[in-house]
Structure 1
C-alpha cells in the first residue's frame, strides 16, 4: 500500500521556502508556476538536464519520490509498460498532474478504519492482514519494514498517528531538498524546459528593446557576451548549441486590419447549414473536439465560418471561452479517408469569427476544428463556494436548483449540434461518450423516449432536465454523479465553463445545399497536424539553420497568432531548443518560455503557437531556435 504525501502541507512548505524570493518579485508565483518549479526541481535532482530522458523504472521511481510522491509498484507499472523505452520531462509533468498527493487527513482516515479502540494505534496482526491480503498486496518483507520502525511501533501495536507525521515530514523534506538544490545551483535553470521562476516576459511589465531578426553566429555571441542583462545571458547560453536562428515579429494592437473577414454580399440568397461542436480540455492538456464530414453536390462558391458559441451565462459570471481562438481546416477526401488533401483553412477574421471564401468542387470534405490552446488551458483558482445542484422542498421532493437548470440548458445548447431544439440519438451519444465513455443503444433510447418528454423521437430540453433529475433521485440527492457530468463538460464547482469552448460552424453555398455531419470527437489528429504544418510551410517565412541546410524553421503570422513549424529533412532525429524569453506581451500554447522538442528524421512538426496576452497592446514575438543535436 503506497500513499502519497499531503498536498496542503507540501504546498505551505513550498510557500514558506519561496517567501523570501517571492517577496522580492513584483509578481508572486502562481500555483501553476509552483507546480512546474516542483517538477523541474525533482527532475534535476535525478538528471543533469531536463533534456535527459527517464530510461528505467528505478529512475522514474526516484524522480517521483523527489517530487514528494511515494508511488506503488502498480503506479510505476501504469506509466512504465513493457513497451516503454523512455519518458521525457513533459511525460513526467503529466504523471505528476495525474498522481495527486494525499493529505494528512486522508492518510489518517485510512488507518482509522482499522482502529477499533480509537486510540491512535493498530495491532500488528490487523495491519499485516490488511497490507498483505487487500488491494495492492505488499510482501511480508515490506510489511516487516514498516513494523520494524522503532519510532512508530511498541507493544505489538502500530502508532499510525506518529507514522503519518513521520511520513509527511519525510515527503516534505524530499521536495524541500530538491527545491533548495534548484535555488542554489543557478546553472541548472538554464537546462530547464520552463523559466517561470526567473520572471517570464509574460509577467514582466518593463519595456523590452526591439531586437533585430537575424541568425546568431559565434562572432555575434562574442560581441554581445560582455554587455550584461537578459540579452547577454541569452546569447551566452547559445554557445553550447551547434547553431541558432531567431525570428522577430512586431504586431500592433488589433493588428492586420486588412485581413478582416468580409461576408459575400449575396450570401442571403445562398443555401446554408449550421452545426455546433465543442473543444474540451483534457486532464493531460490535450484538446479534443468534434470533427465533421461535409458533402458538396456540385461546384459552388462557399463561405465558411467558425466562432465561439455565446451561451446564456448568469449575470456577473465570466465567459472566458469567447476569447478562445478557433480555426477550421478543410480537407478533401480522395480515394479513402487516409488520403486527405488540404484545400483551405479559415485564416481571415472579423472579431471572434474566423472564415474563408472560395470555390469548392463536388465531393466529400473533412472539416477539422482547431484551437491553438493558448487561451484554453488549465486554470488553478480557488472556488470559495460550491454551487448547489439540487434541493428538497418541505415535502421532501427533490428539485434541480435554478442555477443548475440554467447550466443544463446551456449544455443542451452545446450538444444540440444541428440546433433544432431536440436531441437525436446520435447527438445524445456524443454527450454520453464525453461524460460516461459509453454509448446509448437503440433499446435504451426507446426506454428514454417512453419515460421522458420527446418530439419526433428526439429528446426535448425538458426531457433532458428530467433525465438529470432522475439521476439525482437515483442517488437520493447525492450530487457526485452530476458533478462528474459537469466536470466532463468543462464546468468548475462554481458552474463556470472554464475548460471547454463551444463553437458554431456556418456553411453557405451558392449552387447547392451543403450537408454536414459530426462523425468523431477526438484529440488533435495526425491529419490536423499535417494540415497545420502544410499551411505554415506554404504561407510562412522560412529560415535555414546556419550550416545545417536540412533543418528549417517556418513561421506563419496570422491576424491574432503566430505558428512555428520545424522541418527536419535529414536522416537523423534532431533536438531543438526554443527560447521565448525576450518576447513581449505573449503567451504560447506550451506555457513555457524555454523548452525543447525532438523532431524525427524526414518529418515536420508544429513547434508552438503564440498569441498576445492583451490584444489591445503591441506584442513582440522574439524566439531563438537552437540546434542541440
Structure 2
C-alpha cells in the first residue's frame, strides 16, 4: 500500500494528497481493529457472541472496559455483535492514557508517595465500584517488576500496562501481516441486516437485536489498483422533483375509508436506526392508497425542523403461512413533496408495513451545544414546575407517541414510549396506579396527565433533571431541546371497498425481511451490469428522482469483495459516510452496497460510481 500511495503522490493534486493522507489514517485504524479482532477470532466474519468475548476483544485493542461500558454495548436484547460493530465501539472507547491511569491511582494514594499497600488495593478493587475477584487482584500483586514489600509501585505498573498494550498491538499486527491476502485487502466485514442505518465513517452497524443474514460489508480497503474487473455507472440527475403527475389526487380518495398510525425513526448511539413496524388487516380485496411522510410537529417560527428533510419509504409485504414467510408486494415509490406513496390492489389478508429511511439524512450530527436547556424551575411558592420549553417538547413527544392520533395514550401506546426510554414495559397494575394519579379519559392518559407524570418524576428527584434528560436523549433530543436524531412520521391507508386496520406491533431495528425486500425491489426495477467474466457477480442500480440504490448479487460459491468508488460523484451524500469503501458479499447472496441522495435537492447531482472486483 505504501508503494502504491507513493506512486499516486506523483500524479495527484494537493487536495487529493490530503484525502489520501486521511484515508491512510482510516486504513491504519481499521487494520489495528482487524488485528485485534483476529487475535480472538479466526475470521472477521465471526460474530461476538457473549459479553466475555466482547470484553476480551476490547482488551486486545488496548481498551480496559468497565462492566458499565460492556453493558452499554451488550444490552439484554443483544444476540451478537460483528466486526463493524466492534470498530464503531473502538471509535467511542478511546485507549486509556498513562496520564489517566496515574490520575486514577493518585485519587487513592493517600500518602502521595507513589505506592499503594496491597491491603488497600484489595479493599479498593474487591469491594468498591466494579468488584474484581481476589484471583484477579492477586495477578496484579504478583507482578514482580511493580511490587515490593507489600506495595504496588503504580508508576511502574502504568508504564508496564502501556508497554504491554503496545506489545499486544504489535504482535497482533505481525500476525496479520503473515497472510499476504489480508495484508493486501486490509478491511473488515459486517453482517448486513438492514439498509436503514447510517454510520460515520462506515455504513451500517448490524442490528443489536436480530442478525440473521449472511450479507457482508466492510470498511475502507486498499488501493483500487489491485482490482481485477470493474464497471462504471454514471447517472446525471436534475433537481429533485416534488410532484408526480401520475398520482391520484387526494380528493379522489376522500370517500374511501382510512386508517392512520404514527411512528418514528430513532437513531441509536452506534448509528443503528430503530423504528415501529406494523400489521395491516384488509378484510376484502380492494384498491388501496398508502402514504408515508415526516410528521410536522410544532415548530419555532422561522426555524425548519431537521427531520422534515429525512427520506421515508414504506415496504408492503404479504404474510402467508408465517411472519418468516413474507412476500414483497411493493413500496412507496411515487413522491409528492415530502410524502411518498403507492396505489394498487391488495387481496384480503394480513400485510406487514415496514418503514424505511436510507440513513443519508438521519445520522449523527456533531453540533456544539453551549449550555443546557432548563427543564424545571421553582415557582413563587417554591413548587417545582416545568419550563415553557420543556412543555413544548413534551407536547411534541405526546403527539409522536399517540400513534392512533386520538389525543390520548393507551397502555399499548405508552409502552412503546416506555420501551424506548427505559427498556421496560408498564404492566396492568402499574397502569392502574398511573390512571388513579393522573388525568385520564376513556381509561387512557390525557396530554395533561402525561405532563403531570413527567413533573412527578422531577419531584421524585427533587428537581434533578437527569432522568428527564435520559428520556429526551433516547427520543432524539439534544441538550438544546432540539430533536435532531429522530424522525417522526405518519402513515395513512385508504381503501376503496373496505375498512383497513393498522396496528403497530414492534419497535425494533431493521429485519431480514426488510433487507430482502429492498434487494428484491432493486433487482426488479434496477439496471443490471455484470462485473465478472463468469457472469456470477451482478451490480443492480435503481434510480428514483430522490435516491439511487445499488445492490450486488453474488451467484458464485465463494465470497467476493467489491471495491466501491464514488469520488467522481457531485452533490451526493450516501448512507456510508465514505466516498471509497468495500463490500464483502457472501456466496449465493445479495446485499445493498449503498444508498445515495442529493446533498442539496435544489441543485443538480451526478452519481458516478465505479464497482471493482478485488482479487
The alignment's TM-score, normalised by the length of structure 1, stands at 0.76
Partner of 2:336: 350
Superposition pairs of residues 563-582 of structure 1, within 5 angstroms: 563-582=549-568
Superposition pairs of residues 585-600 of structure 1, within 5 angstroms: 585-600=571-586
Tell me, yes or no, if the aligned pair for 2:283 and 2:498 is still in contact at 8 Å: yes
Residue 114 (structure 1) aligned to one of 88, 108, 117? 108
Tell me the secondary structure at the aligned position of residue 298 of structure 1: coil
Seen in structure 2, the aligned counterparts of structure 1 residues 59 and 399 have a Cα distance that, compared at 3 Å, is closer
Residue 545 (structure 2) aligned to one of 546, 550, 559? 559
Partner of 1:274: 260
Partner of 1:53: 44
Seen in structure 2, the aligned counterparts of structure 1 residues 545 and 259 have a Cα distance that, compared at 3 Å, is farther
Displacement of 1:241 = 2.4
Cα distance in 2 for residues equivalent to 1:388 and 1:27: 46
Tell me, yes or no, if the aligned pair for 1:245 and 1:546 is still in contact at 8 Å: no
Cα deviation code 1:298-325 (max 9, x no counterpart): 2222111100011113446552111110
Cα distance in 1 for residues equivalent to 2:343 and 2:16: 47
Displacement of 1:598 = 2.3
Cα deviation code 1:570-598 (max 9, x no counterpart): 22322222222222211111112222222
Partner of 1:463: 449
Residue 136 (structure 1) aligned to one of 132, 138, 145? 132
Tell me, yes or no, if the aligned pair for 2:141 and 2:152 is still in contact at 8 Å: no
Tell me the secondary structure at the aligned position of residue 40 of structure 1: helix
Partner of 1:472: 458
Superposition pairs of residues 174-573 of structure 1, within 5 angstroms: 237-255=223-241, 261-315=247-301, 319-573=305-559
Tell me, yes or no, if the aligned pair for 1:279 and 1:502 is still in contact at 8 Å: yes
Structure 2 stretches lacking a partner, 5+ long: 1-13, 173-182, 190-199, 202-219
1:623 aligns with 2:589: no
Seen in structure 2, the aligned counterparts of structure 1 residues 455 and 266 have a Cα distance that, compared at 3 Å, is same
Tell me, yes or no, if the aligned pair for 2:281 and 2:500 is still in contact at 8 Å: yes
Aligned positions, number: 550
Partner of 1:95: 89
Seen in structure 2, the aligned counterparts of structure 1 residues 459 and 257 have a Cα distance that, compared at 3 Å, is closer
Cα deviation code 1:308-346 (max 9, x no counterpart): 011113446552111110001111222332222211110
Cα distance in 2 for residues equivalent to 1:102 and 1:245: 44
Tell me, yes or no, if the aligned pair for 1:317 and 1:496 is still in contact at 8 Å: no
Displacement of 1:437 = 1.0
Tell me the secondary structure at the aligned position of residue 405 of structure 1: helix
Tell me, yes or no, if the aligned pair for 2:313 and 2:333 is still in contact at 8 Å: yes
The alignment's TM-score, normalised by the length of structure 2, stands at 0.77
Partner of 1:40: 30
Tell me, yes or no, if the aligned pair for 1:583 and 1:621 is still in contact at 8 Å: yes
Between 444-453 and 376-385, the greater mean CA deviation after superposition:
376-385
Tell me the secondary structure at the aligned position of residue 96 of structure 1: helix
Cα deviation code 1:347-389 (max 9, x no counterpart): 0111111011122222221111100111111122222111111
Seen in structure 2, the aligned counterparts of structure 1 residues 388 and 341 have a Cα distance that, compared at 3 Å, is same
Tell me the secondary structure at the aligned position of residue 536 of structure 2: strand
Between 106-115 and 260-269, the greater mean CA deviation after superposition:
106-115
Displacement of 1:539 = 0.6
Seen in structure 2, the aligned counterparts of structure 1 residues 46 and 193 have a Cα distance that, compared at 3 Å, is closer
Cα distance in 2 for residues equivalent to 1:172 and 1:313: 51
Cα distance in 2 for residues equivalent to 1:295 and 1:56: 37
Cα deviation code 1:175-229 (max 9, x no counterpart): 99x9xxxxxxxxx9985689xxxxxxx99xxxxxxxxxxxxxxxxxxxxxxxxxx
Partner of 1:6: none
Tell me, yes or no, if the aligned pair for 1:307 and 1:504 is still in contact at 8 Å: yes
Partner of 1:4: none
Tell me the secondary structure at the aligned position of residue 520 of structure 1: strand
Tell me, yes or no, if the aligned pair for 1:53 and 1:87 is still in contact at 8 Å: no
Tell me, yes or no, if the aligned pair for 1:43 and 1:63 is still in contact at 8 Å: no
Cα distance in 2 for residues equivalent to 1:159 and 1:526: 53
Partner of 1:602: 588
Cα distance in 2 for residues equivalent to 1:140 and 1:193: 35
The alignment's C-alpha RMSD in Å is 4.3
Seen in structure 2, the aligned counterparts of structure 1 residues 445 and 64 have a Cα distance that, compared at 3 Å, is closer
Tell me, yes or no, if the aligned pair for 1:259 and 1:559 is still in contact at 8 Å: no
Cα deviation code 1:38-77 (max 9, x no counterpart): 73363477799xx983889999999857966345799899
Seen in structure 2, the aligned counterparts of structure 1 residues 143 and 614 have a Cα distance that, compared at 3 Å, is same
Seen in structure 2, the aligned counterparts of structure 1 residues 67 and 28 have a Cα distance that, compared at 3 Å, is farther
Displacement of 1:154 = 9.3
Residue 614 (structure 1) aligned to one of 600, 606, 612? 600
Displacement of 1:607 = 1.7
Tell me, yes or no, if the aligned pair for 1:566 and 1:607 is still in contact at 8 Å: yes
Between 546-555 and 414-423, the greater mean CA deviation after superposition:
546-555
Tell me, yes or no, if the aligned pair for 2:64 and 2:96 is still in contact at 8 Å: no
Structure 1 stretches lacking a partner, 5+ long: 1-23, 179-187, 195-201, 204-233
